[in-house]
Amino acid sequence: MGEVVTRTLTGWGLTMPSTAEVMSVFDADEIAAALADPGIRGVLARGAGRSYGDAAQNGGGLVFDLMGRTSFDIADDGSVIAYAGVVLGDLIPQLLARGRFLPVTPGTRYITVGGAIAADVHGKNHHRDGAFGDHVRWLELITADGTLHHVARDGSFDEQRIFYSTLGGMGLTGVILRACFDTIPSPTSAVCVDTERFNDLDSLMASMVAGDDNYRYSVAWIDGTAKGAKLGRGVLTRGDHAEPAQTSGQKATVVPTGAAPRFASPSIPLSPLNRLTIGLFNEAYFRRAPKNRAGEIQGLTSFFYPLDVLAGWNRVYGPGGFLQYQFAVPDADSDVVRTALERLGAIGAPSFLSVLKRFGPGRLRSPLSFPIQGWTLAIDVPTRVDGLAEVLDDLDELVLAAGGRLYLAKDSRMTPRTLERGYPQLDEFRAVRADLDPRGVFTSDLARRLQL
């Protein structure tokens, strides 16, 4: 049996800590043995703890840490077979050496394969390539009775039911032990990027609608502090993996890995981020961006992972921590994006990270997968802002009325009713869970909070 340590765990937002017994596990037998006696507070697998809220916590219960097993193989066709605890950043150098890249990557490379599958993460290419789960061929799942299931995308009806519910299933169908997924070509370790600056939200969104399909990657940073005519002004960066001819003569790009960042953000009892500093940061960031620049060759780190260079940047919000409010709404309801920026701006919620992306079609067969066709806005906000709870409750209503939803991997404040209304296939997920785990062995702080 693996080593067990009592630890207080949080998500990336540093809110809602809870204490659990954390057990390092390496193989299926060890996991099955631990599942034979799960205790009354149940069990949960945790990855790198990069989800923002309480998704990877199980207060008073057992948490499996799978990050000790880091082996993976890359086949000739570029597909990867990796243990769930492998960090995506550790795959990147080996993939690039073969002219390949991750099929989908979130805004940090410090997440695990298990976390990518369980949250069905999306990147800047959802409109083109879908979510991480769209590239998974098969996975191994250990369910509550200790059985190891090999379930494939093209497997039997029963296999597919487990497979698709596990994509986005937030660890509640069982423990993902290993998975096989496809990768995409990346002829160089650089991205060829077009950047445009927009003075208002309408022109930014119109440009995304008109042009995103011409690019593999697209993301807009929005100045979350701009108001009035400048509301929603932002910087749109779009691009694709660079071809060798495009990078010749350019200085070598840095190949990112899963290694720890070189610079650490200060650990401070009081947050230096306030309305003034964030306003100044946003103004400077906006002005620094070129009005229009085409064909810039950027290293993968600066394009995909700009925040990864600063270790522990989540601590700069101070002791109260922060939350990320991320919603998705259908194309027809793009006005919710404007209202969200207006309402959060009106209470002076200081945000230096507001990101707008477009989603392609979602995957209906995965009941808890977040993306739906349309817009997604993610805004970081410190929790200690007057009026924040009321504004977010109001925004929830607008999002739900539009047929939209909130992202479980970022959530720390949803109610059971918000979840039910946002995810109309929730009962399908509950039915799969009831079959696989009738005693409710797999659970989490998030699952208890949302009565999942």
Ligand X SMILES: Cc1cc2nc3c(=O)[nH]c(=O)nc-3n(C[C@H](O)[C@H](O)[C@H](O)COP(=O)(O)OP(=O)(O)OC[C@H]3O[C@@H](n4cnc5c(N)ncnc54)[C@H](O)[C@@H]3O)c2cc1C
Q: Which amino acid is at 400?
A: L
Closest to ligand X by CB, 72 vs 200, is: 72
| Choices 71-79, 94-102, 169-177, 199-207 (CB under 6 A): range interacting with ligand X | 169-177
**Which position among 167, 175, 222, 395 is part of the footprint of ligand X (CB under 6 A)?**
175
What are phi and psi for residue 31, nearest 5 degrees? -65, -45
Closest to ligand X by CB, 167 vs 399, is: 167
CB of 55 to ligand X, least distance (A): 4
**Two structure tokens written together for 304:** 């995909």
Closest to ligand X by CB, 50 vs 421, is: 50
Q: Which residue has the tokens 């290993």?
A: 178
Q: What is the DSSP letter of 262?
A: S
C-beta separation of 224 from 351 below 8 A: yes
Asked if 256 touches ligand X (CB under 6 A), the answer is no
Instruction: List beta partners, residue 236.
Output: 196, 220
**What is the Cα–Cα distance from 101 to 103, expressed in whole angstroms?**
6
CB of 112 to ligand X, least distance (A): 3
**Which position among 47, 78, 89, 350 is part of the footprint of ligand X (CB under 6 A)?**
47
CB of 12 to ligand X, least distance (A): 4
CB of 59 to ligand X, least distance (A): 13
**What is the Cα–Cα distance from 361 to 364, expressed in whole angstroms?**
9
Closest to ligand X by CB, 177 vs 205, is: 177
Residues 176-195 that bind ligand X (CB under 6 A): 176
**What is the Cα–Cα distance from 245 to 238, expressed in whole angstroms?**
19
Query: Among 308, 52, 91, which residue's Cα sits nearest to residue 170?
Result: 52
Residues 395-424 that bind ligand X (CB under 6 A): 409
C-beta separation of 102 from 78 below 8 A: no
Asked if 50 touches ligand X (CB under 6 A), the answer is yes
Closest to ligand X by CB, 49 vs 345, is: 49
Asked if 222 touches ligand X (CB under 6 A), the answer is no
**Which position among 23, 56, 167, 226 is part of the footprint of ligand X (CB under 6 A)?**
56
Across 229-267, b (16+ Cβ under 10 Å) vs e yields: eebbbbbbbbbbbbeeebbeeeeebeebebeebeeeeee
Residues 298-357 that bind ligand X (CB under 6 A): 307
Using a 10 angstrom Cβ sphere, with 0-12 exposed, 13-18 middle and 19 or more buried, the burial of residue 320 is middle
CB of 328 to ligand X, least distance (A): 11
Across 329-341, b (16+ Cβ under 10 Å) vs e yields: beeebbebbeebb
Using a 10 angstrom Cβ sphere, with 0-12 exposed, 13-18 middle and 19 or more buried, the burial of residue 156 is exposed
Interior CA angle at 214 toward 210 and 215, to 5°?
115
Asked if 55 touches ligand X (CB under 6 A), the answer is yes
Closest to ligand X by CB, 326 vs 418, is: 326
> Applying CB under 6 A, what is the total number of residues that bind ligand X?
32
**What is the Cα–Cα distance from 399 to 372, expressed in whole angstroms?**
12
Closest to ligand X by CB, 231 vs 322, is: 322
Asked if 84 touches ligand X (CB under 6 A), the answer is yes
Query: Helices then strands (H, E): number in the chain?
Result: 14, 21
**Which position among 35, 91, 136, 170 is part of the footprint of ligand X (CB under 6 A)?**
170
Closest to ligand X by CB, 309 vs 347, is: 309
Closest to ligand X by CB, 132 vs 286, is: 132
Site string for ligand X, 93-122 (x = CB under 6 A): -------------xxx--xx-xx--xx-xx
Label residue 205 left, alpha or beta by phi (over 0 means left) and psi (-120 to 50 means alpha): alpha
Asked if 143 touches ligand X (CB under 6 A), the answer is no
CB of 85 to ligand X, least distance (A): 7
Closest to ligand X by CB, 189 vs 326, is: 326
Closest to ligand X by CB, 181 vs 231, is: 181
Query: Among 311, 327, 367, 402, which residue's Cα sits nearest to residue 109?
Result: 311
| Choices 43-51, 89-97, 342-350, 396-404 (CB under 6 A): range interacting with ligand X | 43-51
Q: Which residue has the tokens 């925004």?
A: 395
Asked if 162 touches ligand X (CB under 6 A), the answer is no
CB of 174 to ligand X, least distance (A): 7
Closest to ligand X by CB, 44 vs 337, is: 44
Residues near ligand X (CB under 6 A): 12, 44-51, 55-56, 66, 84, 106-108, 111-112, 114-115, 118-119, 121-123, 170-171, 175-176, 307, 409, 444
